[in-house]
Chains A and B, each alone.
Chain A
Amino acid sequence: MGRAILLENIDIPGIRGFGAYRAHGGYQAVTRALREMTPAEVGQEVTRSGLRGRGGAGFPTGLKWSFLDRKSDKPRYLVCNADESEPGTFKDRYLMHHLPHRLIEGLIISSYALGASTCFIYIRGEFKYLVGVLETAIREARQNGFLGDNILGSGFSLDIWVHPGAGAYICGEETALLESLEGKRGNPRIKPPFPAFKGLYGCPTVVNNVETLAAVGPIVLMGGEAYAKIGRGKSTGTKLMSACGNIKRPGVYEIELGLPVEEFLFSPEYCGGMSGDRYLKALIPGGSSVPILPADLALNTARGDQRLLTYESMAEGEFESGSMLGSGGFIVLDEYACIVRNTWNLTRFYRHESCGQCSPCREGTGWMEKILHRLEHGEGRMKDIDLLVRIAGNIEGKTICPLGDAAAWPVASAIRHFRSEFGYHAEHPDQVKNIDHGPLPLPETSAGPVAANGIKYW
């Protein structure tokens, strides 16, 4: 049975509202933190918990907080990154949709720990309806004395504002997000200076993902050490996985880190196996930006160990035979999926989302898309394959922000593991043209995907 920490209580009716959330232990963590702990103690618990950034990078949260410039006399800001746009990732949307107060609670405690009196939630504009959901939750928290001036008599004051983006994947990168929040184009900044010193409006700022911040409440309640005992090794705690693609039960699942990929994929508790019981062909385990893995390397590492859902195990073998846990966007491809088409599709995404600041990314993503388009449409050449590898290599690590890497890895890894399929496309143009890539038909009255705890997803 999966361990529910973030999604605990999700199936209680009305848990989205303050009343039900509070009645089931909600805001106890805020009370504990503000009444019984100093800000530094909260930070220590987070460090002890081993919590790592859930947005994709997996950087230790306590360490990130420790970088904050506490000597500056400027105001400090906490910014919640809710710009969830990584293809395959929909966990933050799910969390905010069902448990908005879980996030608000985490924001209050984290702001207290960081000494921030203003917090912004930067949410992607396409989630317009969630702006209203969060604003309602904030209003409820304020009405009940958990936001505003002198919260619970602690002397700590906090305002939280929801700020919608307007359709730009790049704004999930923390410095682009800050630019966007300042009302500018989402062009990432050169680091250093890091946001911890010069962030929003040039002030010390911490930017954390929704899921990361939502975990802070439970950590305060159970204690950092207890949280660190959950999970495996340096991958502590639980993680929300958003599973999609050719599986029986797409949805959001909370797992204890360390769960084997095989179990997650085939257990009826989670993905429920491949749809139509077809064969697993490939897996993109952490959102579209991470390297794709063929079936054998998805389930087992190159050394023959079972592949586990931890930051370390997913990365084992590095780029030769490994991938990354990333954001937990678990995209499953079955035997009917065309790797070339999928790679072209994702490259088109990065071409569209490149901010255009750095030449390798701006030009490289467009060039790769053009080549992949012609391979997929029966107009490619054998030498295109090595050309793609070369272009990907010339983008990787040569840009201001990681979007360049994110665009290069899917291409490089797809060719590494499925080179023959690219070759087939180049050698058999007539056979790859005009293929109907629609899915195998499903009944019109499909019951629909279900999420963790048996709740219908949407």
Chain B
Amino acid sequence: MNHYPIINHPYHEASGGGVAFTGATLEKVRAIMARYPEGQQKSALLPVLHIAQEELGGYLSVDVMNYVASLLGIQPIEVYEVATFYSMFRLEPAGKYVIEVCRTGPCTLAGGERILGHLCETLAIGVGETTPDGLFTLKETECLGSCGTGPTMQVNTEFYEQLTPGKIDRILEDLREQALQTNSGESSWAGQFS
């Protein structure tokens, strides 16, 4: 799973507060928690962490994880151990757009390795790095379940499929333009739940 250097992780940097969901999101989060049986609110951890990562700074800082723990009435360690297990959670700041390129077999057969190479070249960064303008973080990921429409990548969990170098250039251009607008045009995690 995620191989974060937990020992070196600055858990001690928690400032002890300052992060919280806004009213509407908090309401949504409480509604999600209420879906699980009485006393099993810990079950809401994964959906709530998705919302927290998206709305509280783009990654799960120690403050954010501690806040989620207090919200769910569980120990902070119960959040840390989950946040370090699942690959969609980030413990470090990332660019505005996190690009994750599928590197597994079927996408590779469709040319996935070339796609990654093209992104590295175009963005002038390596895998795991962020562009100096803070716009793009490039990552590799395992199978995204788009094997018939590869090569595939996700940008902040939006699918982009049947990629070609030309298509990637257009996608990056669109994202740069989109970054200038206030409305990101992305669908939010909280918005998925009715």
**B44 contacts which chain A residues (CB < 8 A)?**
183
Q: How large is the interface on A (under 10, 10 to 19, 20 to 34, 35 or more residues)?
A: 35 or more
Of the candidates A89, A180, A284, A448, the one whose C-beta lies within 8 Å of that of B162 is A448
Question: A-side interface residues toward B, CB under 8 Å?
Answer: 75, 84-90, 93, 118, 124-129, 131-132, 135-136, 138-139, 159, 161-169, 180-186, 201, 242-246, 250-252, 284, 288, 329, 331, 333, 337, 341-342, 345-346, 348-349, 352-356, 437-439, 444, 446, 448-449, 451, 457-458
**A451 contacts which chain B residues (CB < 8 A)?**
148
**B166 contacts which chain A residues (CB < 8 A)?**
444
B164 touches A353 (CB 8 A): no
B192 touches A182 (CB 8 A): no
Question: B-side interface residues toward A, CB under 8 Å?
Answer: 1, 35-37, 40, 42-47, 49-50, 72, 74, 78, 81-82, 85-89, 103-106, 108-111, 113-114, 141-150, 154, 157-159, 161-162, 164, 166, 187, 189, 191-194
CB distance from A228 to the nearest CB of B (A): 30
Of the candidates A88, A201, A352, the one whose C-beta lies within 8 Å of that of B147 is A88
**B49 contacts which chain A residues (CB < 8 A)?**
166
Can you name 19 extra interface pairs (CB under 8 A) apart from A166-B87, A329-B147?
A: A75-B37, A85-B143, A88-B105, A88-B106, A125-B86, A125-B88, A128-B50, A128-B189, A161-B36, A167-B86, A244-B106, A246-B109, A342-B105, A342-B109, A345-B108, A349-B104, A438-B113, A438-B114, A444-B164
**B114 contacts which chain A residues (CB < 8 A)?**
438-439
B111 touches A439 (CB 8 A): yes
B110 touches A439 (CB 8 A): yes
CB distance from B114 to the nearest CB of A (A): 5
Of the candidates A136, A168, A244, A246, the one whose C-beta lies within 8 Å of that of B194 is A136
Known A168-B85, A182-B43, A444-B164: A135·B1 in contact at CB below 8 Å: no
Of the candidates A129, A165, A438, the one whose C-beta lies within 8 Å of that of B46 is A165
CB distance from B40 to the nearest CB of A (A): 6
CB distance from B127 to the nearest CB of A (A): 13
A168 touches B147 (CB 8 A): no
Q: Which of A337, A345, A451: most chain B Cβ within 10 A? A: A345
A244 touches B109 (CB 8 A): yes
